[in-house]
Structure 1
Amino acid sequence: MIRVVPPDLPTVEAFLRARALRAMFPLANLARYGLDGGHDNAPAIWAAWTGGAVTDVLAVTRGGTVLPALPSRNWAEAAAVLSGGRIAAVIGPTDEVRPLIAAAGLRGATTLDRDEPHFALDLEALDVPDGPGVLMPLREVDLGQVIEWRKAYAIETLGTPADRADLDARRDVDAFLEAGSHRVLVEDGRLLSMTGFNADIGNVVQVGGVYTPPELRGRHHARRAVALHLAEARARGARRAALFAASAGSAHLYEAIGFGRIGDFTLCLYQEPVHV
C-alpha cells in the first residue's frame, strides 16, 4: 500500500464514497480534519492500486485509530502499514476489522471490544413516530445535564473508566457544539433523550451517541429523537443513513423507524495504545 498524497484524494474519496455506508468514519474525518491534519481525528491514508483504480484504503488517525476499507482482504499488506506504530483503536466493518487485528498481532487490554449489528436506511422510507417533545440543538438546552448524560453514555456504552469519563464527556460535548452534530428531545423544558450524528458527509449521515436516562427508557423517546433528527437531515439533502446498535433494545428501536441490517460493525478500543 502507498501513502496517499493530495493529488490522489479525488480517486481515493470516490472509492470510499462508493462504499460509504461501510466507510463513514474515514470519509467524515477526511472531510472535516483534512489529510495529515493536526487534529487527533485527522487521517493519514494508504491505498492499494491496480492500474489507476484504488482497490483498498487504510486510514489511521493522528490519535491512533485504524479505519479499514479493505474489500480485497489483503490483510498482510495492511498490517505492514501499521508495523512500528501505536494503535489506540480499530473501528469498522467486522469482516475487515477482525482479520486485520489478527494479521497485525494487535493484543492488549481493551475498554471495549464488541461486534454490533450494522444498519442502513434510505431516508425516503423513514418513519417518524408521533410522541411528546420537540428537537432542540445542544446550545439551547442545559449543557450540565447533557454532559452528565454523555458521561453516563461513555461509561455504559463505551466502557470508559469512571475516572476518565467526566473529562471525555466535556471534551465530547464541546466537539458536538462546534460541529452542530447533536440534538435533544425536549418537552416543556424537560430533557427526554439525546441523539446525534458521529459522521456526516452530506448525502449520508451516521447516527451515534444516542442516550436516554434509565428513568425515561421504554417510552420511545430515543426512537422519536433519532427519527426527527434524520428528518431534519433529509430536509437539507441527506439521502441515506447508517448506524451500529449497542444492544438488542437499540436494534429494535432502529428497526421500528425503518432501518435494515447490512452486516456487523466492530469497535475495539484499547486501554493503552498497542505497539505493533
Structure 2
Amino acid sequence: MTWRPVQERDLASALAFLRSHIQTSMFLLGNLEQYGLGGVAPRATSLWMLGELRGILGITNGGMVLLQAPGLNDAEWRAAKSILNGRDVTGCSGDATQVEAFLSATGLSGRADASIAREPLFELALDALRMPDCDDVSLIPIGDAPRETVEAWRAQYLAEVPGLPAGDPVHVARDDITRYIEGDTHRVLTSNGEPVAMTGFNAQAASAVQIGGVYTPAHLRGRGYARKAVALHLSEARKRGVSLAILFAANAAAAAAYRAVGFENCGAFGMIFFDTEQEVRA
C-alpha cells in the first residue's frame, strides 16, 4: 500500500474515517472544519491517505504532524516518512501508540530536544454531564475578563505544563488570548465578580468539542473552580447542540476534576514538540 494526497473528491470519506475515531482526531477535524483542505493559515492542514483509507496523516503549514492510522505495521509507518521528505517538522500528536510508532519509523524518536508526553484521554457524552453546585460562580466570555489577567494566566500555564512548544511564554500568551477572543472559544469563571479560573475549547468539529487550556491560579486551587468552569462551558455548548466532549489530562489533579463531572478514560493521547524545526529526509 502507498500513501497519496487526499483530494477534494476524497474528503467526504476521509472525514467519515476521522469521525469514526473522533476521540483522537479532533485536531484534524477541527482544522479541516475551520480552514478546509490545505489553505494558507498556519494551522491549515494537508492530508495523505494510505490505500483505501487504512490511515490518514496530516501536516499543518506550521509543521505539526497529526495522525489517525490505527493498526499500521512497521513497513506502513516507514512508508509515511517519504511524505515528510524535505519538510520541517515541529511536532506530532495523536493516539499515543501511533505517535510513538511514527516517531520511531521516521527517526525522530531520538531527538534530544523533546520527549513525548503521554496523557490519559477522556470523553463525556454531554447528556451524562454531572453539574457541580455553581450558585457561587458565573461564566463570562474571555473577552469580558481583564486582558492582563488572562494573559498572565496563559503565560503561567505555558510555563507550568511540560512538553509545550518552545517560545517566550509572554509573547505566545498574548497571541493565544487574541485568538481565543476572536474565536470566542474560551471562558473565564468569576466568583464575586473576580476571575478565578479559565477554560476553553481547543478544537471543535460538528457536534463535538475538545477541552484545553484549563487553568486556575495556584493560590485558588483546591476549591473546585476548574470543574465548575468546565461544567458550565459544556452546559453552554450542549444548549447549542454539542453532544460529545473530549480532553486529555496533564496531571492527576486535572483528571480527578474531569472525572467529577462525568468524564471517563478512553485511551491515551500523545504529543511531542521540538525546540527547533527538524528537516526529515527519506
Identify whether the pair has TM-score above 0.5, normalized to the shorter chain. Answer: yes
Is the counterpart of residue 129 in structure 1 residue 132 in structure 2?
yes
Post-superposition offset of 1:22: 1.3
Unaligned runs of 5+ in 2: none
**CA-to-partner distance for each residue in 1:54-95, whole Å, 9 max, x for gaps?**
221000100000000011313122222123221101111101
Amino acid at match of 2:176: D
Post-superposition offset of 1:162: 8.8
Post-superposition offset of 1:165: 0.6
**CA-to-partner distance for each residue in 1:175-232, whole Å, 9 max, x for gaps?**
1111110000012221010000000113111000000000000000000000111111
Moved over 4 A (4+): 158-163
Is the contact between residue 165 and residue 273 of structure 2 (CA under 8 Å) also seen in structure 1?
no
The residue number in structure 2 matching 1:59 is 58
Post-superposition offset of 1:163: 6.4
Amino acid at match of 1:271: D
Post-superposition offset of 1:102: 0.4
Is the contact between residue 165 and residue 275 of structure 2 (CA under 8 Å) also seen in structure 1?
no
Match of 1:223 among 223, 227, 231: 227
Q: Measure, in 2, the Cα distance between the counterparts of 1:56 and 1:140.
A: 42
Is the contact between residue 155 and residue 162 of structure 1 (CA under 8 Å) also seen in structure 2?
no
Q: Measure, in 1, the Cα distance between the counterparts of 2:118 and 2:68.
A: 17
Match of 2:274 among 225, 247, 270: 270
Match of 1:169 among 163, 167, 173: 173
SS state of the match for residue 84, structure 1?
A: coil
Is the contact between residue 109 and residue 272 of structure 1 (CA under 8 Å) also seen in structure 2?
no
Q: Measure, in 1, the Cα distance between the counterparts of 2:62 and 2:11.
A: 21
Q: Measure, in 1, the Cα distance between the counterparts of 2:132 and 2:27.
A: 28
What percentage of residue pairs aligned between the two structures are identical? 40
SS state of the match for residue 168, structure 2?
A: helix
Match of 1:79 among 64, 78, 81: 81
Correspondence list, 1:185-200, <5 A: 185-200=189-204
The residue number in structure 2 matching 1:118 is 121
Is the counterpart of residue 254 in structure 1 residue 265 in structure 2?
no
Q: Measure, in 1, the Cα distance between the counterparts of 2:59 and 2:22.
A: 17
The residue number in structure 1 matching 2:33 is 31
Post-superposition offset of 1:159: 4.8
Amino acid at match of 1:12: A
Is the contact between residue 231 and residue 261 of structure 2 (CA under 8 Å) also seen in structure 1?
yes
SS state of the match for residue 37, structure 2?
A: coil
**CA-to-partner distance for each residue in 1:211-262, whole Å, 9 max, x for gaps?**
0000000000000000111111111111111100000111111111111111
| Alignment RMSD (CA, Å) | 1.5
Is the contact between residue 45 and residue 59 of structure 2 (CA under 8 Å) also seen in structure 1?
yes
Is the counterpart of residue 157 in structure 1 residue 161 in structure 2?
yes
The residue number in structure 1 matching 2:100 is 98
Q: Measure, in 1, the Cα distance between the counterparts of 2:176 and 2:185.
A: 11
Q: With the length of structure 1 as denominator, give the TM-score of the two structures.
A: 0.95
Q: Measure, in 2, the Cα distance between the counterparts of 1:28 and 1:161.
A: 19
SS state of the match for residue 41, structure 2?
A: coil
The residue number in structure 1 matching 2:68 is 69
Is the contact between residue 23 and residue 69 of structure 1 (CA under 8 Å) also seen in structure 2?
yes
Post-superposition offset of 1:38: 0.7
